Amino acid sequence: MTTDTQHLKELNKEQREAAIHSNGPLLIVAGAGAGKTKTITHRIVNLIKKGISPERILAVTFTNKAAKEMRERIILEIEKNAKGQDKIPFVSTFHSLGVYIIKENARLFGLTKHFTILDEGDATSLIKEVLKELGIDPKQYDPKKIKNVISREKGKFVHLPEYIERENNKMNPLLKIVAQVWDLYEKKKAKENALDFDDLLLKATKLLKDNLEIRKKYQEKWEYIHIDEYQDTNEVQYLMSRMLAENNKNICVVGDADQNIYSWRGANLKNILSFEKDYPDAKVILLEENYRSTKNILTVANEIIKKNKYRPEKNLFTKNKSGEKISIYEALNENDEADFVATKILEIADSGADLPRRGVSQADGPRGSAPRARGDSDPALAISAPLSQIAILYRANFQSRALEEAMLRYNIPYQVLGVKFFERKEIKDTLAYLRAALNRNSLSDIKRIINFPARGIGKVTLVKIFAGEEENLPIKMKIKIDNFYKILEEIKEKIGKEKTSEVIKFVVKKTGIETELSSGAEEDMERLENIKELATLALKYDNLENGLGIEKLLEDASLASDQDSLLITEEKKEKINAVKLMTVHASKGLEFKYVFITGLEDGLFPHQRHNEGEGFDSEEERRLFYVAITRAKEKLFLSFANFRTIFGSRTINAPSEFIADIPRTLLEKEEENSRIKTIYI
């Protein structure tokens, strides 16, 4: 191997083949745990070593977490193998790429540079406001459902005029209401100098499609394009990728049809299945060697997924040990199932330590000590337990209740993934001050903070302000409003001069948030701690000057996904030794030594509404189970309940069809705990 390719020695044959490929379209079909990020990283570094400027390389993925990991790996490899190179490729999420293109061409959209990005909650609230303005009852027509319809259409690259024309002759009243709401919703956003998530992709892609000059500009800017998780792209993302690559055709996409689990978000499996049709000269490379899981886990995964028809032929293998068999537990009900999971976790955590067994009394059944706060540390567990390497997965969010109660009964520290740090009220309030300071047209933000902390500015006053009738207000009220806007001016001034973390500290003090929360109850003190954590998080933006740090923080906060921002910030999360509870969807991209997949019952997993479909839809639940299985590195536990209470009704369940697909020789039945069974009957 030559000196130039020495950095490729740690790759296997297929990974190396993908890494040294330079020109023309390339499809990398990468199975779970097959080292796709490593392969892309080395491919990018190899291009740089061949003389391609890093600035001409684009890499796009779906979450900030994945983009951050890829960027860090690329920087590390450049430092090791391309010394003297001080530039790096453009690595971002699709939405961040959309923001970049829109900001560079803001005037063409009638926007200012400091436009507001509405998160899902803000967008839904604005739609609720629109419904009320139109005289439509939000209780009858759910704002979230209407938002989802609009989002789905935008993901298909459908604009409002096309939607109105298409739905005009249909009798569905909901669709007609959607058209009315969508129209006013767009007008309100324009007035507020704001965009929602879907606009970031829709508007950027439309600009590329309609403006040849701008399209050529970005085609020349990024000569080599890499798209990660290509199986998850929707129509807009597909079009954006194609237009950026149409000139040079140097597009490398990485994905796995077996891990397409987001069709409900608009992800189109046909995009990856049709890649060779879109690019007839494409080279296809399969990465089938798994570096994550044991042989037994992979055998089960292969057996499950091979029943799907809409997939390229692929068979994962590994040089890892055979490992333990897959455990299966037949529970009486969801409480019995949760107790099984909890007691198994204590067994895993033991490691020879004398751990407390609080929570089960032989006479009285599960009751235990008083429940403690989620995530509180137990000294014995903290010393010996690899709790952060244990995940409990479930198909639907409602399943977490029984599991959480069991974690509390047995005093096991845990985290529920999916509750976003940036969606906490106190964090949104703090960020709203920053957005309002930069964008005075952001009425949603001003409405949120003008009376927090309390300034005696009520709803009636707010209506008059937004109607431009401030002159009719009493002099004392005018002074209060003037003082509020002076605070925004001071914040804006600080943004241009101070470091990002210092601006956050200034906002908390100047606005009175710190005083308000410091004098409150314990819950308020926790909120203040979260804001302090925001200031700590902001430290990583301090190297960006002239307000760019605040802009980037606001952008990242708006675009944070389930995995990017959980109960606490990413950096702090990794240090907490706690069991992770999450849906299977939220687990994608993660890995754990021990994985529990619960609720394997017909109608729940596979989920009933999906199981009734045909074609692509009927196969998605099987892909979802495949994703769940391949999160496990060493040991996999499966469980199902004969009875489960759902929405207040007790149902009798048959085991999931997936269980029957697992070879009997790889399953070991967990023994029933007859005492607990008796308790729960």
Query: For 214-257, how does the pLDDT look when each residue is reduced to its tens digit (9 = 90+)?
Result: 999 999 999 999 999 999 999 999 999 999 999 999 999 999 99
Catalytic residue among 259, 318, 415, 461: 259
User: Any binding-site annotation on 549?
Assistant: no
pLDDT of residue 526: 75
| Residue type at position 249 | K
Average pLDDT over residues 641-663: 88
Neighbours of 434 (CB within 10 A): 25
The mean-pLDDT minimum among 357-371, 512-526, 573-587 falls in: 357-371
User: Any binding-site annotation on 37?
Assistant: yes
User: Any binding-site annotation on 325?
Assistant: no
pLDDT of residue 4: 58
The mean-pLDDT minimum among 95-104, 201-210, 395-404 falls in: 395-404
pLDDT of residue 139: 86
pLDDT above 80: residue 88: yes
Contact 62, 228 (CB under 8 A): yes
pLDDT above 80: residue 569: no
pLDDT above 50: residue 135: yes
Of the candidates 117, 198, 66, 91, which has an alpha carbon nearest to the alpha carbon of residue 422? 117
191 SS3 class: helix
Split at pLDDT 50, 70, 90, the class of 334 is very high
660 SS3 class: helix
Split at pLDDT 50, 70, 90, the class of 29 is very high
Split at pLDDT 50, 70, 90, the class of 172 is confident
pLDDT above 50: residue 382: no
Whether 311 sits among the annotated catalytic residues: the reply is no
Catalytic residue among 14, 15, 16, 37: 37
Go through the chain and tell me how many residues it has: 681
pLDDT of residue 366: 31
User: Any binding-site annotation on 124?
Assistant: no
The model's pLDDT over 472-524, given as tens digits with 9 standing for 90+, comes to 888 999 899 999 999 999 999 999 999 999 999 999 999 999 988 887 676 77
| Bridge partners, 516 (sequence order) | none
pLDDT of residue 546: 84
Catalytic residue among 36, 56, 344, 633: 36
Average pLDDT over residues 145-151: 92
Which tops the pLDDT comparison, 615 or 210? 210
Alpha helices in 246-378, H assignment, sequence order: 270-273, 275-278, 295-305, 334-350
Alpha helices in 473-631, H assignment, sequence order: 475-497, 500-510, 513-518, 522-537, 548-559, 570-573, 584-587, 608-611, 616-629
pLDDT above 60: residue 562: no
pLDDT of residue 608: 74
User: Any binding-site annotation on 34?
Assistant: yes
pLDDT of residue 523: 73
Residue with structure tokens 């070991």?
A: 668
Catalytic residue among 228, 426, 556, 620: 228
Look at the pTM and tell me if it is higher than 0.75.
Answer: yes
CA distances from 237 to 194, 201, 242, 243, 308 (A): 21, 7, 9, 10, 25
pLDDT of residue 617: 64
Of the candidates 456, 425, 422, which has an alpha carbon nearest to the alpha carbon of residue 524? 425
Split at pLDDT 50, 70, 90, the class of 605 is very high
| Cα angle for residues 166, 172, 177 (degrees, 5° grid) | 80
Whether 343 sits among the annotated catalytic residues: the reply is no
pLDDT of residue 9: 84
Alpha helices in 306-367, H assignment, sequence order: 334-350
Tell me what percent of the residues of the chain surpass a pLDDT of 70. Answer: 87
User: Any binding-site annotation on 9?
Assistant: no
Two tokens, residue 13: 């044959």
Whether 259 sits among the annotated catalytic residues: the reply is yes
pLDDT of residue 379: 40
Tell me what percent of the residues of the chain surpass a pLDDT of 90. Answer: 60
Whether 602 sits among the annotated catalytic residues: the reply is no
Average confidence score pLDDT of the chain: 86
Split at pLDDT 50, 70, 90, the class of 374 is very low
Between the two ends of the chain, the Cα-to-Cα distance in Å is 67
The model's pLDDT over 432-469, given as tens digits with 9 standing for 90+, comes to 999 999 998 898 899 999 988 988 888 888 888 887 88
User: Any binding-site annotation on 33?
Assistant: yes
pLDDT of residue 672: 72
pLDDT of residue 597: 98
pLDDT of residue 307: 93
pLDDT of residue 524: 79
User: Any binding-site annotation on 520?
Assistant: no
Domains and CATH numbers, the chain: 6-101+202-289 (3.40.50.300), 116-192 (1.10.10), 292-352+384-418+572-680 (3.40.50.300), 421-563 (1.10.486.10)
Catalytic residue among 505, 631, 633, 635: 631
Average pLDDT over residues 246-269: 91
pLDDT of residue 345: 95
Catalytic residue among 129, 229, 232, 289: 229
Average pLDDT over residues 638-661: 88
pLDDT of residue 473: 86
pLDDT of residue 419: 54
Whole-angstrom Cα distance, residue 16 to residue 661?
35
Split at pLDDT 50, 70, 90, the class of 610 is very low
pLDDT of residue 169: 64
pLDDT of residue 171: 58
